[in-house]
Structure 1
Amino acid sequence: MTTRALTEPSPFSPGYGRRPLVFGGHDDELSELSEVFASLDFGESQSVLISGLRGSGKTSMLARLQDAARDEGWLVISDDASAGLMERVMETTIPALLGGLSPDSRARLTGLGIWKLDAQWEYVDRHREIRPLLRRDLVALSEILAEERRPAGILITIDEVSSGKVRLRELSRFALEISHAIGEGANIMVAFAGIKIDLDALVEQEHTTFLRRSRELDFRRLSPTQTRHVLSESIRIGGKTIDEAALDLLVSVSQGYPYLVQLAGDYAWRSSGTNAVISVHDAESAHIRAVAAVERRVISRVYQDLSEKDQEFVAAMAVDEGRSRIADIVDRMGVSAQYVQVYKKRLIGSGYVQSDGHGHVIFSLPYLRDYIRSMSRERVDSPVSDDLENYPPRPVTADDGREA
């Protein structure tokens, strides 16, 4: 058993874009969306908007959908919302998908004048006699799939939606092409993932009306039961066991935040070394390292991205131990209630704060309160000093910097 534990890698995957071994939460939604791939009965799931704060599992959900679609013979177009999305999909992704079609299907596509293929039916170049449009590509592929693989369609997933003006313009054009293809009968499911405030901005664009009827999935923290399942099942599959007290501690440490669940589990696993059982000592070691890592990698960056007034709002919240009253935040910030509501709405849209009953808010991101408090203590108690005052700069003379 010791030899096995020594050679088995960690079953946890805290790195960005890595698929967790055990997916926590949203099982019903995943099952319902996967049913579309088998039946082509789209219902409310023709378009899906997946929102949530960073590290909440949105990218993992997209990956699960992609796997389920491929299992049913669907074609999958997967990308992010960075610059050049339309060009990448039309000039690289779709041509690559052609290779998975039969020679007869590729011959029929060539006959439509949309793609140019060589004698071996390999993609050569786009045929420019017909103006290339994404909608034409998608409709043609959908029609071929209907003939070749029944039932099957095209899944399009776009991650990291951004609300920057330039990005929104391209995303709007991209969404418009998809809506035209759907209108022409193409069997397509499209899923966009991002922070809610960015998805809301996308939906409000001029050419994205169809997205306003999308199915919405809001990714928040896992429940204690779900967290315990992800940790214990991952450890079991990895080939070890865990003390109940250690499992309780990891559940408490991770606070249901999916990225932190993977991070704390990974640290505990590695701390256990060649031992077959993860102990309380391993969980305590993971506690210290995981919280420090999530503060450095996520929370500090989230805080720095906030505007000055957003920072004032969360600082006013950090005074409280639990949820905060909006009336108290108004008093602490010294501004009007209407003014505070603007920043409340924006922070809720960003996913860092959530409503908690009428007139109250609470932090969504674990340890953000502690981070804000620690920053306040550092400003008061720890003046910046790196001992360089003992090494004053050398005075600059008239000869400095002159060539000999």
Structure 2
Amino acid sequence: MIAEMNGIAAHAGSPFTPGYGRAPLVFGGHEDELDELTRVFQTLDFGENHSVLISGLRGAGKTSMLMMLQDAARREGWLVISDDASAGLMDRVMETTIPAMLDTLEPATRTRLSSLGIWQINAQLEYVDRHRQTKPLLRRDLIALSEHIGPDAGILITIDEVSSGKIRLRELSRFALEVSHALQAGANVMIVFAGIKIDLDALLEQEHTTFLRRSRQLDFRRLTPGETRHVLDESIRIGGRRIEHDALNQLISVSQGYPYLIQLAGDYAWRNNPRSAVIDQAAADVAHEKAITAVQRRVISRVYQDLSEKDREFVQAMAQDSGRSKISDIVKRMDVSAQYVQVYKKRLIDTGYVRSDGHGYVAFSLPYLGEYIRSMNDEPAAVDDGWDAFPPPPSV
């Protein structure tokens, strides 16, 4: 919503969305893939898009992509099942999500569905319970829903936060098996899994996930400088303000193409003086300091804590260099074999935190991870908090 404030067009709030689970106002990168996937909701011409795997480091825009797909599917009349890969996924979908979905369908569709003997629906055409004459199976639900919502719509299933824990992977494998049976029966279903690449790879190694190995795969990394500029500039324009050229360049440099940091830096710059028509250099300076501190505290510190001991040794060896690191130097610093280092190099590349940077070199792909590791070795500066003038009295 745009409102007039002090003679300028002002957004009702910040157009940036650094909070978790909020789709960005302007989506950067992967526009072609987004367009292709959303066309499926209009045409039902799936091609390779019955199953999609979205990988990428934390904050790279995977959840935002899922939300964009969900909104596009609903606009075309599709049913949407959205959840994460936490324990109890199958029960939540079958016992909560689908029953709630039934109550949103047209009365004629609910009547047809009730005649199948899968769900109990009362005289008011509201879901009551699941029939138990046959074993409840997700595949039955998906096939029935797909057949009775009509030929011009389908079912989108999005599963976020895929984890490589053994118990979670077993449940996801069973879930995938049920979806594959529904697809084989002709159900119009698109399923999208999102997570870190190393976790998605672990899912593909499970039983019953053969059809997922043929999935469309999208890898979310950093945006280009041009894409970053577009997201920042266009979000500010839609919000009803403009930004000085040098201030915009500074926000681009600060964010380093990392989607979460783009939203965070843009939000800090916007809120610095929200009543001004122009975001100036002073606002960009404030955003610079606040955004880096916040991303290191909220994301990078947690990423580092999640790494294994040997992964940490690898990135600590990398952090001794201000730019890219030579693999042979990492071998010397870790005092291990080159073959050993290659194992952890691959693991870290698969997490998205490290990337190859020319033959024999690696670099951090998560901005400010190297700086965070180096800062842990810095001695904290002494802080005068005023209490030196008030020493504690001796105990009585």
Which band: TM-score by shorter chain? over 0.9
Contact 1:272 1:279 in 2 (8 A): no
Contact 1:2 1:276 in 2 (8 A): no
Report the Cα offset of residue 273 of structure 1: 2.7
What is the match of residue 292 of structure 2? 291
CA distance in 1, matches of 2:241, 2:342: 49
What is the match of residue 192 of structure 1? 193
Report the Cα offset of residue 362 of structure 1: 1.0
What is the match of residue 333 of structure 1? 334
CA distance in 2, matches of 1:392, 1:219: 59
CA distance in 1, matches of 2:384, 2:182: 61
What is the match of residue 111 of structure 1? 115
CA distance in 1, matches of 2:264, 2:16: 7
User: 1:68-114, CA deviations, whole angstroms, 9 ceiling, x for partnerless residues?
Assistant: 11111111100001111111100111111112322222111111110
Count of aligned pairs between the two proteins: 389
CA distance in 2, matches of 1:7, 1:170: 44
Report the Cα offset of residue 7 of structure 1: 6.8
- Cα 1:126–1:241 change in 2 (3 A) is same
Report the Cα offset of residue 5 of structure 1: 6.2
Query: 5 Å matches for 1:5-16?
Result: 8-16=12-20
Gaps of 5+ in 1: 396-404
State the identity as a percent. Answer: 71
Report the Cα offset of residue 308 of structure 1: 1.7
Contact 2:53 2:215 in 1 (8 A): yes
CA distance in 1, matches of 2:367, 2:5: 35
CA distance in 1, matches of 2:332, 2:284: 41
What is the match of residue 398 of structure 1? none
275-284 vs 64-73, which deviates more?
Answer: 64-73
SS at match of 2:67: helix
What is the match of residue 180 of structure 1? 181
Do residues 264 (structure 1) and 265 (structure 2) align? Answer: yes
Contact 2:10 2:239 in 1 (8 A): no
Do residues 121 (structure 1) and 125 (structure 2) align? Answer: yes
Query: 5 Å matches for 1:4-403?
Result: 8-146=12-150, 150-378=151-379
CA distance in 2, matches of 1:181, 1:119: 29
CA distance in 2, matches of 1:56, 1:385: 39
- Cα 1:332–1:394 change in 2 (3 A) is farther
Contact 1:156 1:188 in 2 (8 A): yes
CA distance in 2, matches of 1:203, 1:26: 23
CA distance in 2, matches of 1:97, 1:140: 13
Report the Cα offset of residue 357 of structure 1: 2.2
